[in-house]
Structures are given as structure tokens and as C-alpha cells.
Amino acid sequence: MSIPTAASRAREGRVFKTKLIQFLGRSTQIILQDKNGPCPLFAICNILLLRNMLKLSTAEVSQETLLSLVTQRLIDSNSNNTNRDAGYVENLRHNMADAFELLPRLATGIDVDIKFRRIRDFVPTGECAIFDLLDISLYHGCIVDPQDRDIAMAIGSKSYNALTRELVARELNIPQQRKLVQKFLGSSAGQLTNYGLSCLQRDVKERELCAFFDNKHLSTMFKYEGQLYLLATDEGFLDQPDHVWEKLEKVNRDNVYVSSNFEEYKMVSHTNDTWDEHNAMASTDDYVASVDNATHADLNDLDLQLAMALEQEERKQQPPQRNNV
């Protein structure tokens, strides 16, 4: 999905806390997210840690170290080209060269733009290709229910970026189509629909570790005994060893938290000065990038224009009010 972000900023020398958890009978460190932590880098590293493909043994880790570990993993994962034809090898070299150039963006901002037909339907970008090279599936749940035929036809195969630009520029000339698109985007502002959630629950493989994109955020997701879970990586839960996963079962994210054994965990209330999970997710706008430079506009402005257009359209639908005298 086209995601508004602040301008990319260099974050050299940053250090992040780690937390020791149990995962399927094995102890492993995971990386915790502070207020402005780079969620794409965290999602990838935590998946590799849970897969036992990366090793950490310290209470803190630097951003530079994480990028180096991912770089080495890219090399290791794609070094065996035995019995591959020349065309495959050449294409892999090209993709690897692009990946190495784009790796630093995992810590500053990546391009993510979704389509609305399938849970793996992303507009291809170089940064998203890094996930493929690491054999990490990338999913989202903002899917149109095909039974809503009018909405499905109005949206078609267009991406979020394309629809947003058309709405702001009023390029959707058919009023009914424009109204349907506005209705869908307004009702799915959290980037997860009921139908999309059912598709995730059905199609993500049992015990699959993958990356999940919603609410302008990338999370580590795991399917266990038919249920989806998101890794709880907020730094505020460092001293709560039983707070490990969030069960993904409701679109409104009013979900329960579970321990490393996937048993329900009663979360301790946070004080006002503690950074909580929802704030951590919202804060990562800085790290998930948006439309290309051809728009000549910051995405924050684009989303603001879209919100204003939606509000104006809603006002038009309301009957005129009479003043009581």
C-alpha cells in the first residue's frame, strides 16, 4: 500500500535492545523496537533469528551489525548455484547487486504498495525483492471480498497508490465507482479486512514464519496450530518475559497476548510514559515508504488530500440541515 513517511534520515550508530524468549523448545534472542525503530529490518532479523539462521547473544545490538548479518545471510542463501543454467545465475547476480544497494533502506524507508486481490499481491520493488532472496514470504490482509462484485470491479487490479492518485486528481470519472472506492478505502483504513484475515488464516502455511504488512508496519508473523500470531517486539515489554505473541484474530486488533507456549497472557498495565505496542506500530511510518517521485508530492500531503476528498464526498451525501429559530 502507498504509505506516507517522513523524509529518510540517517540513523548511524543506533543500538537496540534484545530479549531472550523460548520458541518451539529453543532459546533465542529477538530484537525489540523502540519508538522510531526500523520495522523492516526488525521483521527480517527476527524471522531469521526464529529460524535459527542468525545468532545473537548480547543484550543490545547495533543497527550496523544487523545490516551486516542480513548481508551475510543474503550471500549464504544464494551462493549455491550448482546445476543452475546461465540465465538463472545471471538474473540472480543482477538481483543480488540490486539487493546490496538497497539494503540500507531497510533502516530508513522501503517501498510498499499493495493490490487488493491476494494476500501476496504487492507491486514489485527492489526492496521487496530482498524478502524473496531471503526466502521470506510477505503478506498483507487488505483484500476485497470477491462477493462484493461492484467494489471488486471498481478497484480491479489497481494498487493503493494508483487509486489514491486517481481519487485526489478526480480521475475516477464515474461517480458510482468513485463512491465505491472511497467507501472501501475508508472502511479498510487499518489495512486489514475481514475477508483478508480469513484468507491469511486459510493460506499461510502451518508453522510458517513470515512478514506481515498492515497499519503502515511490518511485523513478524507465525502460524501455529491453525492460529496466526504476531511477535511482540515493543521495547516496553522487555521486562515481561511472558509477553511474546499477539494473537491475530480480530480486524480491529483487539487481540489477546500469549506467552512463548501460546497460552493467554494478561498484560500488565503500562504507565503513561511507557511506549506501548500500538504507538510502536504507528511510529514506524518513517520506515515504510511510498509512491515514486513522479507524484512530485510528499505522501503525507497526498493522504491528507485523500482524507479531505473523502470528507467532502461524505458531506455531499448528507441532507441539508435547517436552523431552528
Catalytic positions, written as ranges:
39, 217
- Give the span between the Cα atoms of 174 and 108, in whole angstroms: 39
> Rounded CA gap, 176 and 181, in Å?
9
Q: Which position has the grid cell 475481514? A: 194
**N-terminal to C-terminal alpha carbon distance within the chain:** 49
Q: How far is C-alpha 113 from the geometric centre of its chain's CA atoms?
A: 10
Give the E-state strand segments of 69-177 in sequence order.
Answer: 110-111, 138-140
H/E run at residue 302: helix 299-317
Sequence-ordered list of residues with C-beta below 8 angstroms from that of 13, at least 6 positions apart, any chain? 62, 63, 64
List CB contacts of 116: < 8 A, sequence separation 6 or more. Answer: 142, 143, 144, 155, 160, 184
Q: Phi and psi for 217 in degrees, rounded to 5?
A: -145, 145
